[in-house]
C-alpha cells in the first residue's frame, strides 16, 4: 500500500511494478493491445456493478419526490410516476435500455430534473476540472522542489522540515483545512469567497476568488503525497549505478540531478500526479460541501440522496472510465519510456 | 519520521522475508525511530483516554444544557461548549472511542480480508487470479470515499456498519498489495516444495505464504489506520457515519460547527485538531514501522 | 462580524441584548405600510434547494415555488397580509350557488401572457383540467385534493365554472393553492409536458435566465395587469444549499431574505451582526413533527405502549427549551394551533401527553408499560431524517424524554431516501415524521392518518375503518360545526385512544430579512410566499 493518503484521492498502490527485461517492440504492442482489450470488460463490469448496487440500495425517487412532506397523494399517482420513469420495467430491461443508450453515446435523462445526464454532468465538470487542475498545479509546483531539496539534503534539517510539512499534509483533513481557511478569511479580513460559480472566461477574478481556496486546501494534501513520492523516487535513483558512475566521472551535482536522476525519478511522480488528478474529479465530495461548490462530488452526493439512478449511473461510469483511462495512459507512457519493463 | 526511500512507493515486488522476532526489537525500534516511538506513545495515550473516558472526562458527553450553549473555552469548559450546551472536551475524549474503534476495526478487518483474498488469488493463479484482479480493478477505479458512500447507502449507518463499509472499501487495495508480495514468494523453492509435498491450499496460504507477506501487511495496516480515521470523519461529516448524539469527531465538525464558525470557532477547531493529531500519530508510526520492517531500506 | 469577546459570560449578556433587539425590531418593523412604495431595484434572495422541474402541477417542493412562482398567476390567491383570506388574482370576482355545488369565476379582461397573447377562460380551464383530470402520462400530485370536482367549464372567454360532486368544504382555499399556476391552453394542447422545462405565464416577472446550481433571474413584466406593479425591476434567486453559506450571504448583504426560515441561533447570529439593518418576523408554521409507531411490531402493536410513549413526553417543557435552539414552538394537536379548527388548550390538555403535570403523566406511562408487559430498560430505536433542523434536536430531546420512564432509545439518523424506504417497509420501531402544507384543512392534514391501504402516507401500518369513516364524514360536511365535531373525534382517536402517532411540536417560522426589503409579511407557510409583486426596496 502506498502512502497513508487520505480519503478517496489516491492510488499509488497501482503502480506497474518495475522489472528488468528486454526491450521488444512487438511485446510492447501486444502488451498495449492486451491492456486495451481489458478496458472494455472492466468498464462493462463497472457498469453492471453500479447498476446492481443501485438496485440494492433502499430508497425510491418517487417516494422522495411525491410523498415526502406529507403531500396528499394517491397510490395511483405514485404508480403512474414510477411507470413514467421506467422503474416498473424488469431489471434486465432497464439495464438493456441503459446499455443500448450508452452505445449510442446517450446516458439518458436525469430522473430528478429530466435534463439529459450528459448536460447535468457537463455543467459541473467545468468546475471540477478546473479545481482539479488548479490543485494539481499547486501540488506540483510545491512538491517537486520540496521533494528534490529533501532528497539532496537527506537527513539534514531541510529534509526534516520538508518531511514534517508533508507528514502533516497527510494528516490534516482537507475539508477541515477549508473550514479553517474560511474562518481565517472571515475573522481577519471580514471576507467571504464568492458563493456562486462564474466561468473563468466570464470573470477570471471572481472565478479565481472562489476556487483558489478549495484548490489550496486540497492541493496541500495532494502536494504532501507528491513530495514524499519525489523524495523517495529520487533517493532510489541516486543510489543507482549509473548515477554513481556519473559522480565518479566528476560531473557537476546539478547536471547529474537534472540530466540523470530527476528525469528517471519523475516517472513515479508523474504517475501519482496523474492518478490523483483522475480521482480529484469525483473524489472532492467533502471539500465541495464545505465551500458550497457545485461540482461533480456534490452532484454524486445529491444524486445518491435523490436515488436518481440514471444520473448516478452516468456519473460513476464517468469517474471510473476517467480513472481507467488515466491508468492506461500511465501504463502506455511507462511502456514507451522505460525499456526495463517486461511484458508477459 | 525519517522514512526512507520509497516511503510512498508501492511495495515494490520483492520477496519480503518473514519477520522473525528477535530479542531487543522494541529497543532497537526506540533507538532508531525516536519520533515513531513518540507517535506510538501518543497512540497509547489516546487508547487510554478513550478507555477511561468516563473517569477522565469532566462532563457526560450527552448531557445537554439549553442554558449554556456556545460557551467559549474557559475553566468550566476547556474546549468550550457546543450548540446543545454539551462539553466539547468531553465529546472529543469520547469521540476517540469512535475513531479508534472504527480505525482499528476497519483496518484490521479490511487488511486481513484483503490479504487472504490476495494470497488466495496469487496461490491459485490462472482464471481465479484473473477474475479477482479484474474485480479489484473495478473497485479501485472509484475514489475511496465514493465506494464507502455506496456501501453505507446499502448497509446503513451506525458504528458497526461504518467499520464494515470502510473495511470493504480497503479490501481491494489490500488484496492488490498482498497479492504482489505473495506472487513473489509463490515462485520460491520452499513453496514449490510445499506444493510438491501435497500440502493443502489452506496450509500453503496460511502457514507458508502468510508469514512472508507479514511485513507489507503490517505496513499497509498502519497506513490504513490513519486513512480509516479520516474516512470516518469525512463520512460522519457528510452525515453518512454515526448518528447524533454519539460523540464522533467528524460529526462534531458538521452542522452547527460550520454554521457558527465565527461565533463559536472552538466547535470547529478542536475536533479537527483531534482528527489531525490522531492521523498524524498513526502515519508517523506507520512510516517508522515501514522503515523497521522493510529490509531493503535498512541501509 | 466580530466575535463577541465581552469577557465574563458573553453568552448571557449577548443573549439578553438579542432578545431585546428582536423585540424592538419586531415592534418597529410592523406598520411600515404608510410609506409609498418605491419603484426599481433588484431583489436578491436565497433558495436552499434546486427546482426539480418547472411544472408546479407535478411538484411538491418550495424549491420550485420560490424562484418560479413570480412568472405565474393563480385563479385566486391567499392574501399574505391577511392569511388565510382569499383574494382575486386572475379571477376578478366569484359567486357560489346556494348549495355550494357550483362556483362561477369572472376572469379579468386583457391579461397578457409574456408572449403577448391574451389570457381567456380557456387557459384557466385547461390548467385546472390538467390538475383535476390529468391526461395519460401527466402527473398531478394534488389531484386527490380536488376529487370533489365533477367538471370545469368555460362558457364564455371571461367565465369559468366549477361543478362539484358535493359541497366541498373550503373549496375556495383549495383552489388558492400556490401550486395551481395558470398555463397557456395552446401550449398544453400541443405538449402537456412543455411546462416541465419551460416558462410561459402571465405573472409580474418575465423569465430571463436559469443557471443551474447558481441562479434564477426574472425581470419586470411591463404589461402586468395590475397598474404600477410590480415595484421591483427584477429579481434574482440564488441557489445556496449550505446553511453556513446561506447565513454568510445574508450577513454580507449578497441576499436580502430566504423565504423558508432560519433557526433561533441563526437568527441571533444575524441580529448580532447586522443590528438594526435586519428585521425579524416570526409566525407559527403549518408544519409539524410527529412520531409514528410501527403498529405491526411488538410491543408497538399495543395501544397501551404507544399511549405510554406519548404520555412520557413533556411538550410544554420541550417547547420552552427547544424553541431556543430549533424552529419549533407551538404545542398542538392535529390541526395547527391558532388555526380555525385547532383544539383549544383547555381541551388539548385532556389528551394523553398534553397534561400540564408531567410527573403524573410519567407515572401513568410507567404503569401502562408494566401492564403491557414491557420490561424496565426496554430498548428500541427511533428513526430520524438526517437533516439538522429541526429533526436532530427533536430526536435528541425524545431520547432524553423516554429515558425518564426507563426506556433505552437509540437514535438512528438516516439519509432521507433510506429513511423513507424503511418507513414504507415497516422496518422500524418508532420514527420521527413530519408534514408541511399551505392550508389548514382537515381534508389535507388528516389524509395521512386514514388506513394504510388507502393512504400512501400512513407509515404506521394500521387499518382502522372507523377513522376512514370519520374522514369521509368530515370531508362531506358542508356544515362547519359538524365538521369540527368529527375532526375532534378523529383527533382523539388517533392521538389518545389508539395513540397511533404522537404530535411532538409544531414548527415556528423565523424570517430575518434586510429592512430595506419592504412589503414583506410572514405567513404560516413557505409556499404562499414569495409574491414578489407586493415587495419593494427602500434603497
Q: How far apart are CA B208 and CA B192, in angstroms?
A: 10
Q: Who wins on pLDDT, C268 or A332?
A: C268
Q: How far apart are CA C284 and CA C327, in angstroms?
A: 10
Count of alpha carbons within 13 angstroms of residue A223, beta-carbon side: 28
Decide if pLDDT at C273 tops 70.
Answer: yes
Decide if pLDDT at C52 tops 50.
Answer: yes
Among the residue ranges A323-337, C113-127, C183-197, the one predicted with the least confidence is: A323-337
For B8, the closest of A2, A7, A316 (CB atoms) is: A2
Please, what is the average pLDDT of chain C?
89
* CB-based contacts of B193, cutoff 8 Å, min separation 6: none
**Looking at CA atoms only, how far is residue C113 from chain B in angstroms?**
42
Decide if pLDDT at C2 tops 90.
Answer: no
Q: How far apart are CA B299 and CA B296, in angstroms?
A: 7
A164 touches chain B (CB under 8 A): yes
Q: How far apart are CA B6 and CA A334, in angstroms?
A: 18
pLDDT score, position C512: 95
pLDDT score, position B12: 35
Average pLDDT over residues B106-115: 92
C-alpha cell of C210? Answer: 436559469
Strand C278-293 vs strand C501-514: parallel, antiparallel, or unpaired?
Answer: antiparallel
pLDDT (tens digit per residue) in B183-208: 877 777 777 777 777 777 877 877 77
Q: Which residues of B touch C11 (CB under 8 A)?
A: 68-71
Q: Report the candidate in B259, B67, B252 with the shortest Cα–Cα distance to residue C324.
A: B67
Q: Which residues of C touch A59 (CB under 8 A)?
A: 415, 417-418, 420-421
Could B9 and A268 be called an inter-chain contact, meaning their C-beta atoms sit closer than 8 Å? yes
C-alpha cell of C54? Answer: 418547472
Q: Is B105 helix (H, G, I), strand (E, B) or coil?
A: helix
Decide if pLDDT at C172 tops 90.
Answer: yes
Could C242 and A306 be called an inter-chain contact, meaning their C-beta atoms sit closer than 8 Å? no
pLDDT (tens digit per residue) in A104-114: 888 888 888 88
Decide if pLDDT at C234 tops 60.
Answer: yes
CB C459 within 8 A of CB C423: yes
For C396, the closest of B84, B255, B259 (CB atoms) is: B84
For C420, the closest of A57, A68, A77 (CB atoms) is: A68
pLDDT score, position C178: 93
Nearest Cα residue in chain C from A185: C1
pLDDT score, position A151: 84
pLDDT score, position C354: 95
Peptide bond just before C534 cis, omega within 30 deg: no
pLDDT score, position A198: 79
- What band does C427 get if pLDDT is binned at 50, 70 and 90? very high
pLDDT score, position A188: 83
Could B245 and C399 be called an inter-chain contact, meaning their C-beta atoms sit closer than 8 Å? yes
Which of B263, B265, B266, B267 should be substituted to probe chain C, the one whose Cβ sees the most C Cβ atoms within 10 Å? B263
Q: Who wins on pLDDT, C313 or B258?
A: C313
Count of alpha carbons within 13 angstroms of residue A87, beta-carbon side: 21
pLDDT (tens digit per residue) in B209-261: 777 788 778 878 888 888 899 888 888 888 788 877 788 888 888 877 777 77
pLDDT score, position A4: 36
Which of B7, B141, B156 should be substituted to probe chain A, the one whose Cβ sees the most A Cβ atoms within 10 Å? B141
For C269, the closest of B66, B71, B260 (CB atoms) is: B260
Count of alpha carbons within 13 angstroms of residue B205, beta-carbon side: 17
> What is this model's ipTM?
0.78
Q: How many CB pairs under 8 A join B and C?
A: 72
For C144, the closest of A70, A73, A197 (CB atoms) is: A73
Average pLDDT over residues C21-34: 49
Q: How far apart are CA A146 and CA A300, in angstroms?
A: 34
Q: Report the candidate in B125, B131, B139 with the shortest Cα–Cα distance to residue B167.
A: B139
C321 touches chain B (CB under 8 A): yes
- What band does A69 get if pLDDT is binned at 50, 70 and 90? low
Please, what is the average pLDDT of chain A?
78
Peptide bond just before C390 cis, omega within 30 deg: yes
pLDDT (tens digit per residue) in C325-352: 889 999 999 999 989 899 999 999 999 9
Q: Who wins on pLDDT, C144 or C95?
A: C95
Q: At A111, phi and psi to the nearest 5?
A: -70, -25
CA distances from B154 to A296, B44, B122, C242 (A): 21, 34, 30, 25
Decide if pLDDT at B30 tops 80.
Answer: no
CA distances from B290 to A52, B30, B115 (A): 39, 14, 17
**Looking at CA atoms only, how far is residue A321 from chain B in angstroms?**
8
CB C94 within 8 A of CB C77: no
pLDDT (tens digit per residue) in A159-171: 889 988 888 888 8
Decide if pLDDT at B16 tops 50.
Answer: no
Decide if pLDDT at C149 tops 60.
Answer: yes
C-alpha cell of C503? Answer: 404530535
Peptide bond just before C480 cis, omega within 30 deg: no
CB B180 within 8 A of CB B186: no
Could A58 and C425 be called an inter-chain contact, meaning their C-beta atoms sit closer than 8 Å? yes
Strand C501-514 vs strand C430-436: parallel, antiparallel, or unpaired?
Answer: unpaired
**In chain A, which among 168-187 make CB contacts under 8 A with chain C?**
186-187
**Looking at CA atoms only, how far is residue A78 from chain B in angstroms?**
23
Could C60 and A187 be called an inter-chain contact, meaning their C-beta atoms sit closer than 8 Å? no
Average pLDDT over residues B128-143: 83
Q: Who wins on pLDDT, B298 or A42?
A: A42
Average pLDDT over residues C88-103: 94
Q: How far apart are CA C93 and CA C100, in angstroms?
A: 16
As beta bridge partners, residue B81 has B87
**In chain C, which among 157-196 make CB contacts under 8 A with chain A?**
196
Q: How far apart are CA C31 and CA C518, in angstroms?
A: 11
pLDDT score, position A336: 67
Q: How far apart are CA C192 and CA C138, in angstroms?
A: 7
Decide if pLDDT at C107 tops 90.
Answer: yes
Q: Which chains touch A (3 or more CB pairs under 8 A)?
A: B, C
Q: Which residues of C touch A60 (CB under 8 A)?
A: 417, 420-421, 424
A145 touches chain C (CB under 8 A): no
Average pLDDT over residues C235-240: 92
Could B6 and A8 be called an inter-chain contact, meaning their C-beta atoms sit closer than 8 Å? no
pLDDT score, position C31: 47
Three-class secondary structure assignment of A80-143: HHHHHCCCCCCHHHHHHHHHHHHHCCCCCECCCCCCEHHHHHHHHHHHHHHHHHHHHHHHHHHH
Share of chain A above pLDDT 70, in %: 81
CA distances from A95 to A47, A99, A100, A194, B134 (A): 9, 6, 9, 41, 21
Could B284 and A323 be called an inter-chain contact, meaning their C-beta atoms sit closer than 8 Å? no
Q: How far apart are CA C363 and CA C414, in angstroms?
A: 32
Which of C392, C411, C412 should be substituted to probe chain B, the one whose Cβ sees the most B Cβ atoms within 10 Å? C392
**In chain A, which among 59-98 make CB contacts under 8 A with chain C?**
59-61, 63-75, 77-78, 80-81, 84
Q: Which residues of A touch B2 (CB under 8 A)?
A: 155, 160, 163
Q: How far apart are CA A28 and CA A37, in angstroms?
A: 14
Crossing angle, helix C303-311 and helix C358-371, to 10 degrees?
160
Q: How far apart are CA B149 and CA A79, in angstroms?
A: 29
Q: How far apart are CA C230 and CA C516, in angstroms?
A: 16
Q: How far apart are CA C403 and CA C310, in angstroms?
A: 13
Q: Who wins on pLDDT, B88 or B294?
A: B88
Which of C16, C414, C416, C417 should be substituted to probe chain B, the one whose Cβ sees the most B Cβ atoms within 10 Å? C414
Q: In chain B, where does DSSP find H-type helix?
A: 25-32, 34-51, 53-56, 88-124, 126-140, 144-155, 159-186, 189-196, 201-203, 214-237, 249-252, 256-259, 266-293
Question: Can you give the length of chain A in residues?
Answer: 344
Helices (H) and strands (E) in chain C, counts: 16, 18
Among the residue ranges A90-104, C27-41, C420-434, C495-509, the one predicted with the least confidence is: C27-41
Residue C41's region, left for phi above 0, alpha for psi from -120 to 50, else beta, is left
Q: Report the candidate in A287, A327, A343, A266 with the shortest Cα–Cα distance to residue A12.
A: A327
C-alpha cell of C306? Answer: 404507544
A272 touches chain B (CB under 8 A): yes
As beta bridge partners, residue C284 has C508
Amino acid at each position: 500500500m502506498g502512502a497513508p493518503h487520505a480519503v478517496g484521492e489516491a492510488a499509488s498502490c497501482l503502480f506497474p511494478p518495475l522489472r528488468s527485461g528486454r526491450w521488444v517492440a512487438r511485446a510492447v504492442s501486444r502488451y498495449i493491445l492486451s491492456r486495451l482489450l481489458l478496458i472494455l470488460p472492466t468498464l462493462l463490469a463497472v457498469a453492471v456493478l453500479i447498476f446492481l448496487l443501485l438496485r440494492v440500495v433502499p430508497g425510491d425517487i418517487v417516494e422522495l419526490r411525491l410523498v415526502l412532506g406529507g403531500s396528499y397523494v394517491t397510490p395511483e399517482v405514485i404508480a403512474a410516476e414510477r411507470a413514467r420513469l421506467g422503474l416498473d420495467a424488469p431489471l434486465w430491461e432497464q439495464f438493456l435500455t441503459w446499455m443500448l443508450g450508452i452505445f449510442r453515446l446517450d446516458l439518458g435523462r436525469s430522473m430528478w430534473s429530466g435534463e439529459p445526464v450528459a448536460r447535468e454532468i457537463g455543467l459541473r465538470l467545468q468546475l471540477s476540472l478546473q479545481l482539479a487542475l488548479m490543485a494539481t498545479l499547486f501540488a506540483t509546483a510545491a512538491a517537486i522542489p520540496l521533494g528534490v531539496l529533501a532528497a539532496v539534503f537527506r537527513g539534514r534539517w531541510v529534509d526534516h522540515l520538508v518531511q514534517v510539512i508533508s507528514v502533516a499534509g497527510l494528516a490534516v483533513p482537507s475539508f477541515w483545512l477549508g473550514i479553517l481557511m474560511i474562518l481565517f478569511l472571515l475573522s481577519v479580513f471580514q471576507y467571504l469567497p464568492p458563493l456562486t460559480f462564474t466561468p473563468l472566461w466570464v470573470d477570471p477574478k471572481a472565478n479565481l476568488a472562489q476556487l483558489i481556496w478549495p484548490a489550496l486546501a486540497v492541493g496541500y494534501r495532494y502536494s504532501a503525497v507528491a513530495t514524499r513520492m519525489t523524495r523517495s523516487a529520487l533517493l532510489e535513483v541516486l543510489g543507482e549505478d549509473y548515477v554513481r558512475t556519473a559522480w565518479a566521472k566528476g560531473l557537476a551535482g546539478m547536471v547529474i540531478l537534472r540530466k540523470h536522476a530527476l528525469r528517471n525519478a519523475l516517472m513515479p511522480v508523474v504517475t501519482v500526479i496523474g492518478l490523483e488528478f483522475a480521482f480529484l474529479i469525483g473524489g472532492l465530495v467533502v471539500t465541495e460541501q464545505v465551500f458550497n461548490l457545485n461540482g461533480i462530488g456534490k452532484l454524486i452526493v445529491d444524486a445518491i440522496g435523490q436515488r436518481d439512478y440514471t444520473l448516478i449511473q452516468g456519473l460513476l461510469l464517468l469517474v471510473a472510465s476517467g480513472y481507467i483511462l488515466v491508468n492506461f495512459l500511465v501504463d502506455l507512457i511507462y511502456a514507451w519510456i522505460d525499456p526495463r519493463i517486461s511484458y508477459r | 519520521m525519517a522514512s526512507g526511500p520509497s516511503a510512498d512507493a508501492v511495495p515494490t515486488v520483492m520477496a519480503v522475508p518473514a519477520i522473525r522476532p528477535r530479542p531487543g526489537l522494541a529497543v532497537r525500534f526506540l533507538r532508531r525511530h525516536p519520533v515513531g516511538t513518540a507517535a506510538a506513545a501518543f497512540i497509547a495515550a489516546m487508547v487510554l483516554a478513550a478507555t477511561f473516558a468516563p473517569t477522565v472526562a469532566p462532563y457526560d458527553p450527552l448531557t445537554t444544557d439549553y442554558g449554556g450553549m456556545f460557551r467559549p473555552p474557559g475553566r468550566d469548559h476547556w474546549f468550550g461548549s457546543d450548540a446543545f450546551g454539551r462539553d466539547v472536551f468531553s465529546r472529543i475524549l469520547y469521540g476517540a472511542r469512535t475513531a479508534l474503534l472504527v480505525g482499528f476495526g476497519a483496518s484490521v478487518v479490511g487488511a486481513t480480508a484483503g490479504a487472504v483474498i490476495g494470497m488466495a488469488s496469487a496461490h491459485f493463479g490462472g482464471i481465479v487470479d484473473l477474475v479477482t484482479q479484474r474485480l479489484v480493478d473495478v473497485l479501485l477505479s472509484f475514489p475511496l470515499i465514493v465506494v464507502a458512500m455506496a456501501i453505507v447507502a446499502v448497509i446503513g449507518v451506525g458504528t458497526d456498519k461504518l467499520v464494515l463499509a470502510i473495511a470493504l472499501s480497503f479490501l481491494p487495495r489490500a488484496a492488490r498489495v498482498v497479492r504482489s508480495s505473495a506472487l513473489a514468494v509463490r515462485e520460491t523453492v520452499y513453496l514449490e516444495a510445499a506444493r510438491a509435498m501435497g500440502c493443502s491450499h489452506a496450509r500453503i496460504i496460511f502457514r507458508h505464504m502468510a508469514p512472508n507477506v507479514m511485513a507489507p501487511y503490517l505496513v499497509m495496516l498502519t497506513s490504513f489506520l490513519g486513512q480509516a480515521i479520516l474516512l470516518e470523519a469525512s463520512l460522519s461529516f457528510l452525515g453518512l457515519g454515526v448518528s447524533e448524539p454519539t460523540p464522533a469527531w467528524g460529526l462534531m465538525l458538521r452542522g452547527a460547527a460550520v454554521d457558527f464558525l465565527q461565533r463559536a470557532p472552538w466547535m470547529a477547531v478542536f475536533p479537527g485538531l483531534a482528527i489531525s493529531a490522531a492521523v498524524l500519530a498513526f502515519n508517523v508510526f506507520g512510516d517508522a514501522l515501514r522503515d523497521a520492517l522493510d529490509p531493503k531500506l535498512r541501509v | 462580524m466580530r466575535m463577541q469577546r465581552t469577557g465574563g459570560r458573553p453568552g448571557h449578556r449577548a443573549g439578553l441584548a438579542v432578545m431585546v433587539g428582536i423585540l424592538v425590531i419586531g415592534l418597529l418593523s410592523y406598520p411600515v405600510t404608510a410609506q409609498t412604495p418605491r419603484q426599481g431595484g433588484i431583489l436578491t434572495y436565497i433558495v436552499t434547494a434546486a427546482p426539480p422541474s418547472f411544472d408546479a402541477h407535478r411538484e411538491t417542493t418550495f424549491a420550485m415555488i420560490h424562484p418560479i412562482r413570480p412568472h405565474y398567476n393563480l385563479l385566486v390567491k391567499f392574501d399574505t397580509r391577511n392569511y388565510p383570506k382569499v383574494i382575486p388574482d386572475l379571477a376578478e370576482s366569484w359567486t357560489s350557488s346556494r348549495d355550494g355545488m357550483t362556483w362561477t369565476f369572472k376572469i379579468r379582461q386583457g391579461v397578457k401572457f409574456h408572449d403577448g397573447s391574451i389570457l381567456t377562460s380557456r387557459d384557466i380551464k385547461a390548467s385546472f383540467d390538467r390538475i383535476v383530470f390529468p391526461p395519460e402520462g401527466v402527473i398531478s400530485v394534488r389531484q386527490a385534493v380536488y376529487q370533489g370536482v365533477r367538471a370545469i367549464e368555460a362558457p364564455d372567454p371571461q367565465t369559468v365554472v366549477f361543478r362539484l360532486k358535493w359541497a366541498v368544504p373550503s373549496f375556495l382555499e383549495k383552489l388558492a393553492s400556490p401550486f395551481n399556476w395558470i398555463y397557456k391552453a395552446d401550449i398544453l394542447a400541443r405538449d402537456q409536458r412543455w411546462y416541465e422545462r419551460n416558462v410561459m405565464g402571465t405573472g409580474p416577472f418575465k423569465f430571463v435566465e436559469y443557471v443551474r446550481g447558481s441562479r434564477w433571474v426574472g425581470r419586470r413584466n411591463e404589461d402586468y395587469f395590475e397598474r404600477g406593479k410590480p415595484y421591483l425591476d427584477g429579481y434574482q434567486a440564488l441557489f445556496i444549499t449550505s446553511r453556513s453559506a446561506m447565513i454568510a450571504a445574508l450577513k454580507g448583504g449578497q441576499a436580502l431574505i430566504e423565504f423558508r426560515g432560519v433557526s433561533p441561533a441563526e437568527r441571533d447570529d444575524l441580529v448580532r451582526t447586522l443590528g438594526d439593518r435586519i428585521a425579524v418576523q416570526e409566525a407559527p408554521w403549518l408544519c409539524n413533527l410527529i412520531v409514528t409507531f410501527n403498529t405491526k411490531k411488538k410491543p408497538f402493536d399495543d395501544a397501551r405502549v404507544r399511549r405510554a410513549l406519548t404520555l412520557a413526553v413533556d411538550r410544554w417543557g420541550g417547547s420552552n427549551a427547544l424553541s431556543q435552539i430549533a424552529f419549533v414552538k407551538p404545542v398542538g394537536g392535529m390541526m395547527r394551533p391558532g388555526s380555525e379548527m385547532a383544539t383549544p388548550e383547555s381541551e388539548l390538555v385532556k389528551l394523553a401527553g398534553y397534561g400540564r403535570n408531567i410527573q403524573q403523566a410519567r407515572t401513568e406511562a410507567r404503569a401502562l408499560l408494566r401492564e403491557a408487559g414491557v420490561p424496565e430498560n426496554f430498548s428500541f430505536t427511533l428513526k430520524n431524517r438526517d437533516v439538522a433542523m429541526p429533526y436532530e434536536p427533536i430526536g435528541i430531546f425524545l431520547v432524553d424524554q423516554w429515558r425518564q420512564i426507563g426506556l433505552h432509545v437509540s437514535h438512528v439518523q438516516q439519509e432521507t431516501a433510506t429513511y423513507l424506504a424503511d418507513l414504507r417497509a415497516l422496518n422500524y420501531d418508532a420514527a420521527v415524521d413530519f408534514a408541511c402544507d399551505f392550508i389548514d384543512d382537515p381534508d389535507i392534514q388528516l389524509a395521512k392518518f386514514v388506513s394504510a391501504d388507502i393512504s400512501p402516507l400512513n407509515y404506521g401500518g394500521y387499518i382502522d375503518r372507523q377513522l376512514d369513516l370519520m374522514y369521509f364524514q368530515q370531508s362531506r360536511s358542508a356544515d362547519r360545526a359538524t365538521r369540527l365535531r368529527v375532526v375532534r373525534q378523529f383527533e382523539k382517536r388517533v392521538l389518545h385512544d389508539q395513540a397511533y402517532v404522537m404530535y411532538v411540536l409544531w414548527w415556528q417560522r423565523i424570517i430575518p430579512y434586510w429592512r430595506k426589503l419592504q412589503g414583506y409579511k410572514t405567513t404560516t407557510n413557505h409556499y404562499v410566499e414569495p409574491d414578489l409583486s407586493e415587495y419593494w426596496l427602500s434603497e
